[in-house]
Amino acid sequence: MLAIALASGAFSSNAQIVVSVRPPVPHYERVPAPSPRHVWIGEEWEPRGGAYVFVGGHWAEPPRPGVVWVPGHWRRRPGGEAWVPGHWR
């Protein structure tokens, strides 16, 4: 499921929505890590239907040794802000 989510994020990375007000982060509970190798992927947003949908809050195993998760963030754009997705580096 994570691979599908990451792949769909790669294909939707060109779609950028600019918002004047950031959407609220829903409340969710962090469950214990499945293993010491897993990394917490927190706040993430995906553009869908002209709006951002919250898709974060899960554990993921790095795709290969030595990579780290770079969290997504909001970046100022003309007319508002746009979400820059997190990625492995």
Task: Identify the band that residue 15 occupies on the pLDDT scale cut at 50, 70 and 90.
Answer: low
Residue 26 has pLDDT above 50, yes or no: yes
Q: Is 65 helix (H, G, I), strand (E, B) or coil?
A: coil
Encode pLDDT of 46-85 as tens digits.
999 999 999 988 999 999 999 999 999 999 999 999 999 9
d(CA 67, CA 21): 32
d(CA 47, CA 15): 7
* pTM score, whole prediction: 0.70
Query: Residue 85 CB: number of other CB atoms within 10 A?
Result: 18
Task: Identify the band that residue 24 occupies on the pLDDT scale cut at 50, 70 and 90.
Answer: confident
